[in-house]
Amino acid sequence: MKRVKITNGSVGLVFKNGELMKVLEKGTHWLFFNETVMKYDLTQKPQLPVAFEMVKDVTALVESLHVVEVKDLELVLVFENGNFKEVLTSGRHLFWNKVLDYHFIKADMSTLEIPKEIDSNLLSRYELARFVRVFEVAAHEEALLMIDDVYTKKLNAGIYRFWKNDTSIKIARVDLRQLQLEVSGQELLTKDKAAIRINFFANYKVVNSEKTILDNKDYSKQLYVALQLSLRAFVGQYSLDELLSNKVTIAEAVFAEVLETSEDLGIQLLSCGIKDVILTGEMKDIMNQVLIAEKKAQASVITRREETASTRSLLNTAKLMADNEMLYKLKEMEYVEKIADKIGEITLSGNGGMVKQLKEIFAVNP
């Protein structure tokens, strides 16, 4: 016979002619020479030398093991002493139950929903992440969940996880914030056949995501076309001058007409307006010429008014001086003073008659 010692934390399996005979626990044991022993660490998963079906009738072994059977489309999460250890896929898995405390959570991957008992933090671990589909709906979004192309439910902001299987999952996101749509560079003809380009804008927000996504395709393009057609219809009813002076009125008319269409799209139209009115090349030159002519005419009128006022002032001054000799002399002295300001030096030559003439200039007739 031969002696075999099994240490603490180990176990021994005794085989005879390829058949499991018994299980040896801690201690010293004696075996016959035709018996062999295989030692196993109780903290590690056992790898039996024979199929489990060959030893499943050995009660001592079965009582020492956790036998975990995992079917196709199933996963088993293994927790060792309360901590996540690994993920088991289809097959049979063995664990010793003598030393470590194991806990197992089984999940059916043929369904989409992940059991709530599985902590969401674990789903981000590599071991599990490859089996999970993740969809994120931002805080400003709403989403519609489509399972096998069939609308299932509405998703609010958050992170959603589903098992990865053959079931098709899609989500259609909708932005719930206020959005702006620009109808830019629209080349239009006014009532008086003036060619212009208009930049138009509209502010809106989605209020019915189901109607927006399920009942309509490319809702923003449909809103764009509705604004475009309405704008063309109303601009054609105004001449260029009327258009420039009635931009707010036209915007309000477009808003009222497109409002019903926007409701059918699941959209609330908030406001709209004409951003720019741009004249084309030839029309721009013509308008510049008209503007220059108008300004010249206005300047001519102002000049004539000023000339008339100046002439009237001179006439009134002349009448006053004709009636008042003193005022006339003061006016003469004013002009002499102005002349003298421009003369640095005066040289007089001649007899005393010059002085007499100057006195006569400033003399006041009685």
At 5-27, the pLDDT tens digits run 888 989 988 888 888 888 888 88
Residue-range definition of the domain harbouring residue 224: 179-279
Residue 314 in any domain: the answer is: no
Q: Give the long-range contacts of residues 244-251, CB within 8 A, separation 24 or more.
A: 244/277, 247/273, 247/274, 247/277, 248/273, 250/274, 251/200
Give how many domains the chain has, as a whole number: 4
Q: When comparing pLDDT for 299 and 351, which is higher?
A: 299
Residue 9 in any domain: the answer is: yes
- Cα dihedral: 44, 46, 47, 53 (round 10): -160
Q: Same structural domain for residues 57 and 113?
A: no
End-to-end CA distance of the chain: 172
134: tokens are 């993740």
CB 282 within 8 A of CB 288: no
Residue 85 in any domain: the answer is: no
Residue at which a domain ends, from 217, 249, 279: 279
Q: Give the model's pLDDT for residue 353.
A: 65
Q: What pTM, to 2 d.p., does this model score?
A: 0.67
DSSP state of 105: E
% of the chain residues with pLDDT over 70:
90
For all residues of the chain together, what is the average pLDDT? Answer: 86
Residue 13 in any domain: the answer is: yes
Select the highest-mean-pLDDT range: 78-82, 189-193, 278-282: 78-82
Confidence of residue 314 (pLDDT cuts 50, 70, 90): confident
Q: Give the model's pLDDT for residue 241.
A: 82
Largest separation between any pair of C-alpha atoms in the chain = 174
361: tokens are 């200039």
Residue 287 in any domain: the answer is: no
Q: What is the pLDDT of residues 81-124, one digit of tens each?
A: 999 999 999 999 999 999 999 999 999 999 999 998 999 999 99
Q: When comparing pLDDT for 245 and 314, which is higher?
A: 245
Letter for the amino acid at 90?
A: S
Going across the sheet that includes 102-108, the strands are 83-88, 74-80, 102-108
Residue at which a domain ends, from 131, 152, 177: 177
30: tokens are 């004696």
Whole-Å CA distances, 83 to 119, 187, 302: 12, 69, 94
